[in-house]
């Protein structure tokens, strides 16, 4: 996008001609070359955006162009779809209304709080007023703003944060009442129609510290999130995992969520391996396993096998090593790690071009394993004699990695001496 800013400072006609020529060249390269690069497609899209921006700028009224000056130093006006239909400003927190239209959250919340039950754009009556974060739109708008030297609008109306919180809380309460209704048809209707929206609402609510305790104490909400981890829709499963992760940052909620049965479906999500949900599920497991009781359940429910296989396949290795470092304090976890061939895997990672932090985690896991199960010393000793893996970490690793590596080496020396003299 850097080139876009350069093109638009020259006369518009000349810039348009130059960009069209460049676009033709890039498109031909994409069409004719079988091994065209991603950069080529990105560049072609940038040119298209620039042409669109020039066309929009040509038809905009002078006062509309002047209205951009307060938030954008670039000569490129924001694409219309990046602006909130209500405020006309670049959206900071885009959310999707039930009608499918996207708005900036503070402004649509104000619209709803004022009693409107229709979509501002289509004027259609809304089936519900729950809002779903439009993460993709936010990512694209943020990227565009950074590349075009535009500041995200900070003109948030006084009390808007309260609007967001109050409106979501009201909707949360309303749907929970339907879910807990004595009428079976009400319950089924609420679950079928609003599961995805309610999960998103709980996630939005939980972002506020003051709401986490309230939601955590709402048994129905926790069970609803856990059931949503098994939804057919990956977006619902992902948001449910994210909501449980956010809620679990409160220590009291860690116990509640663990006892409610969240750990097994979270492990299943990690095993499933969908990139949209796996990271949040893994982070939620890690957060919950700060509680010793949850750690035991995670081991019993198969977390060690699932996580170790991810490590062996180098999938989300940072997060997976964090989980193993916690779980290996459990004796059953150490036994499983040994059966799965984790010792060899961890030593292999130490010899790879891996981050120093991950190497530190590997050494810490090996340290715990060999102190919990002396039989692992023989396996480690065989590899160390051939490759000097731990000796290298003891010389070049982080301070913690060096301590752990030296601790293992001392134990290996005693083990070797005992075996030799026996």
> In this predicted structure, what is the pLDDT of residue 306?
98
Residue 69 in tokens: 């000056």
- Name the pLDDT band for 181 (thresholds 50, 70, 90): low
Q: How buried is residue 124: exposed, middle or buried, by Cβ count under 10 Å (0-12/13-18/19+)?
A: middle
> In this predicted structure, what is the pLDDT of residue 167?
53
Q: How far apart are CA 242 and CA 330, in angstroms?
A: 26
- pLDDT at residue 313 above 90? yes
> In this predicted structure, what is the pLDDT of residue 113?
80
Query: What confidence tens digit (pLDDT) does each residue in 384-414 have?
Result: 889 999 999 999 999 999 999 999 999 988 8
Q: How buried is residue 87: exposed, middle or buried, by Cβ count under 10 Å (0-12/13-18/19+)?
A: middle
Looking at per-residue pLDDT, the higher value among 10 and 45 belongs to: 45
- pLDDT at residue 1 above 50? no
150 in helix, strand or coil? strand
> In this predicted structure, what is the pLDDT of residue 149?
67
> In this predicted structure, what is the pLDDT of residue 96?
81
> In this predicted structure, what is the pLDDT of residue 213?
86
- pLDDT at residue 152 above 90? no
Average pLDDT of span 151-156: 50
Looking at per-residue pLDDT, the higher value among 321 and 178 belongs to: 321
Average pLDDT of span 82-109: 85
- Name the pLDDT band for 324 (thresholds 50, 70, 90): very high
Average pLDDT of span 63-70: 41
Query: What confidence tens digit (pLDDT) does each residue in 205-250 have?
Result: 787 777 888 888 888 889 989 999 999 888 889 999 999 998 999 9
Domain segments of the chain: what residues?
Answer: 2-59, 331-422
Query: What confidence tens digit (pLDDT) does each residue in 182-199 have?
Result: 555 555 555 555 677 778
pTM above 0.75, yes or no: no
- The 8 Å CB, 24+ separation contacts for 245-249 are 245/280, 245/283, 245/284, 245/287, 246/203, 246/206, 246/207, 246/212, 247/206, 247/212, 247/215, 247/216, 247/222, 248/284, 248/287, 248/288, 249/212, 249/287
Query: What confidence tens digit (pLDDT) does each residue in 32-43 have?
Result: 766 666 666 666
C-alpha separations of 19 from 4, 32, 37, 50, 144 in Å: 9, 20, 19, 8, 19
Calculate the average pLDDT of the chain: 79
> In this predicted structure, what is the pLDDT of residue 340?
95
Residue 408 exposure: Cα atoms within 13 Å on the Cβ side: 34
> In this predicted structure, what is the pLDDT of residue 178?
58
> In this predicted structure, what is the pLDDT of residue 293?
95
* Degrees, nearest 5: CA angle 287-289-294: 130
- pLDDT at residue 7 above 60? no
C-alpha separations of 230 from 178, 238, 371 in Å: 21, 10, 38
Average pLDDT of span 116-127: 83
> In this predicted structure, what is the pLDDT of residue 158?
43
Residues 321/361, Cβ–Cβ less than 8 Å: yes
Name the nearest CA neighbour of 323 among 345, 350, 305, 349: 305
């Amino acid at each position: 996008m850097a080139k876009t800013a350069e093109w638009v400072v020259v006369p518009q006609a000349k810039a348009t001609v130059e960009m069209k020529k460049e676009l033709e060249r890039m498109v031909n390269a994409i069409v004719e070359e079988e091994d065209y690069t991603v950069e080529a497609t990105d560049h072609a899209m940038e040119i298209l955006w620039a042409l669109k921006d020039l066309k929009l700028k040509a038809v905009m009224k002078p006062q509309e162009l002047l209205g951009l000056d307060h938030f954008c130093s670039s000569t490129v006006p924001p694409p219309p779809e990046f602006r909130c239909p209500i405020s006309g400003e670049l959206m900071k927190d885009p959310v999707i209304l039930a009608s499918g239209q996207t708005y900036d959250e503070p402004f649509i919340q104000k619209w709803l709080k004022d009693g409107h039950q229709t979509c501002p754009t289509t004027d259609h009556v809304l089936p519900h007023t729950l809002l779903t974060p439009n993460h993709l739109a936010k990512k694209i708008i943020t990227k565009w703003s950074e590349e075009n030297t535009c500041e995200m609008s900070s003109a948030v109306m006084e009390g808007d944060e309260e609007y967001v919180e109050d409106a979501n809380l009201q909707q949360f309460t309303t749907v929970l009442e339907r879910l807990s209704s004595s009428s079976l048809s009400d319950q089924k209707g609420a679950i079928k129609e609003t599961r995805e929206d309610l999960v998103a609402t709980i996630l939005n609510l939980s972002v506020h510290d003051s709401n986490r305790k309230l939601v955590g104490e709402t048994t129905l909400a926790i069970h609803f999130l856990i059931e949503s981890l098994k939804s057919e829709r990956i977006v619902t499963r992902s948001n449910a995992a994210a909501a449980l992760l956010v809620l679990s940052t409160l220590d009291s909620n860690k116990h509640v969520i663990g006892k409610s049965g969240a750990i097994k479906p979270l492990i299943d999500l990690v095993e499933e391996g969908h990139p949209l949900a796996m990271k949040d599920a893994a982070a939620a497991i890690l957060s919950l396993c700060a509680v010793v009781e949850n750690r035991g359940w995670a081991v019993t429910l198969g977390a060690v096998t699932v996580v170790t296989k991810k490590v062996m396949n180098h999938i989300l290795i940072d997060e997976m090593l964090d989980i193993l470092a916690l779980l290996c304090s459990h004796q059953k976890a150490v036994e499983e790690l040994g059966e799965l061939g984790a010792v060899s895997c961890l030593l292999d990672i130490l010899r790879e071009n891996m981050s120093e932090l991950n190497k530190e985690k590997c050494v810490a896991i090996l340290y715990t394993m060999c102190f919990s199960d002396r039989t692992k010393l023989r396996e480690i000793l065989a590899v160390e004699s051939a490759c000097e893996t731990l000796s290298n970490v003891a010389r070049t690793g982080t301070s913690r990695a060096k301590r752990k590596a030296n601790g293992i080496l001392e134990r290996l020396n005693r083990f070797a001496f005992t075996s030799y003299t026996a």
